[in-house]
Amino acid sequence: MTDTRLFTDARGARLKCLMSAAESGPMRGSGTSTYLPALICPLPAGSVTPGSVLRFGGQVNKFGTPTGGHNLKVTIAQGANEVVITQAFIGASLLFFNWRAEMTFSADRKFAFMDSVNAFNSASGSIAAGSFTSYVAKTTASANLSPRTRSTTAAFVSYSAPPTQETRLVDFDQASELRFYLATVAADTVAMNSGFVELLSPGSDPSTYLPAKATLFFGHSLTEGTGSTTGNDVVSQLRGLKPGRPISNLGLGGQTYGSGSISFVDRILADPRSRTCDLIIWGPENDALADAAIWTATVLARLAQVMAIRKAGTRTIICNSVTSTAWSAPYVAAAQYLNAQLAASEWGGLVADMYTPICTAAGGYPNPAYLSDAIHHNDAGYAVDAATIAARMAALGWG
């Protein structure tokens, strides 16, 4: 979502919000050198005026294994030219990275000066025409409270060898784009939880930014959308049923309620947004046991941990368990027991019943028309899932 608004502070200084983005969506890593675009903000022709400041930032979320680092890069692009203006390597252990930077343009807009704002540690690297300032991101969760550090110049022009000839890489009298990129190692997943771009007039330094509120949808491969075609996973179809509501797909295949490196509940507990944002959880299936009591105890105990961090007035939906055609009868019976206990629990009023519309075959098994394999749904199955959740949202007054 982009949002262009003009604000005036008490001094008459101008602040224009060029972009307020809620979620890039999860991005699978294919190697540390492969950057994929997370968010793109258009810069209208002439919007970058002499001496103006671009303030931009957001929150990067890494989920999956904690063994590989991830990278952030920001560029300004116009036509075939793309100037990298800041780049950072983020340590593997830092799962959430809040970052913000400012870029002040020279009077002729051929150069700009980067400031880090309590997000990056030391500045390093040199600036050549069309190159970038390289920062090292903080590697611990503690804040860097040192003063802002002005970098050397980012150049939007290049010069040939003598006789010198100037080539304009980016002409801000023409439309351009500010692009946020992410990269991570193979098999890891990253997302830009939020991103913003603000244009400040000379002399103004407003400091208030409130990112758009997102609905967080955590879970396993059914949440992620395994078995669907592009754009037909449960979250994408739910977005279609709830236009105007940003919904973040935070599903990750193979994850469970249980604790450890493959736990989506541990990701919920670690995510600072989980305390206040609307939350949807789907994921009992990977914890399945024929011992219904143990399976149920695991799910209820972990739900209690999630609900304990939720602030009063926040809204939550808990999806119950579907079954698999590969499960034996005791596992199906255990799923039915789990679902009954969820419905009878203190959170029963928050449960979206995924089981009833999907598991209509004899013996409590899923309808084959809704499956892409033994347990994952196809496009039609995810449409039923999305409709089920949308109906629960409406019943709970989510709108």
Half-sphere exposure of residue 224: CA atoms within 13 angstroms, side-chain side: 18
- Pick the most confident of 27-31, 168-172, 377-381: 377-381
What is the rounded CA–CA span in Å between residue 215 and residue 237? 14
Q: Which of 61-65, 147-151, 296-300 has the lowest mean pLDDT?
A: 147-151
Q: From 239, 188, 173, select the one nearest 62 (Cα to Cα).
A: 188
Mean pLDDT of 266-286: 91
pLDDT score of 334: 98
134 has pLDDT over 80: no
Question: Band of the pLDDT at 212, cuts 50, 70, 90?
Answer: very low
34 has pLDDT over 90: no
- Pick the most confident of 137-151, 220-234, 269-283: 220-234
Report CA-CA distances (Å) from 232 to 15, 30, 306: 38, 23, 28
Q: Which comes out higher in pLDDT, residue 111 or 257?
A: 257
Q: Which comes out higher in pLDDT, residue 223 or 73?
A: 223
pLDDT score of 141: 43
317 has pLDDT over 90: yes
142 has pLDDT over 70: no
- Pick the most confident of 53-62, 240-249, 368-377: 368-377
Question: Band of the pLDDT at 136, cuts 50, 70, 90?
Answer: very low
What is the rounded CA–CA span in Å between residue 268 and residue 175? 39
Q: Which comes out higher in pLDDT, residue 352 or 199?
A: 352
Which residues sit opposite 68 in a β-bridge?
Answer: none
In the chain, % of residues over pLDDT 70: 80
Q: Which of 92-96, 178-182, 200-204 has the lowest mean pLDDT?
A: 200-204
Report CA-CA distances (Å) from 271 to 59, 61, 72, 88, 95: 11, 8, 19, 21, 9
193 has pLDDT over 60: yes
Could you give phi then psi for residue 228, rounded to 5 degrees?
A: -95, 160
User: Would you state the torsion angle of the CA atoms of residues 324, 326, 331, 332, taken in this order, to the nearest 10 degrees?
Assistant: 50
pLDDT score of 21: 81
> In the block, which residue shows the tokens 């503690």?
142
326 has pLDDT over 60: yes
pLDDT score of 152: 60
Q: Which comes out higher in pLDDT, residue 158 or 116?
A: 158
Question: Band of the pLDDT at 40, cuts 50, 70, 90?
Answer: very high
Task: Tell me the pLDDT of the chain averaged across its residues.
Answer: 82
What is the rounded CA–CA span in Å between residue 202 and residue 106? 11
* 3-class secondary structure, 21: strand
Q: Which comes out higher in pLDDT, residue 1 or 321?
A: 321
Question: Band of the pLDDT at 133, cuts 50, 70, 90?
Answer: very low
Mean pLDDT of 187-210: 67
pLDDT score of 255: 94
Question: Band of the pLDDT at 116, cuts 50, 70, 90?
Answer: low
pLDDT score of 106: 83
Question: Band of the pLDDT at 266, cuts 50, 70, 90?
Answer: very high
Count of H-run helices and E-run strands, the chain: 7, 21
pLDDT score of 211: 40
Mean pLDDT of 369-378: 98
Q: Which of 65-69, 171-175, 200-204, 323-327 has the lowest mean pLDDT?
A: 200-204
In 3-state terms the chain splits into helix, strand, coil percentages (rounded to 5) of: 25, 35, 45
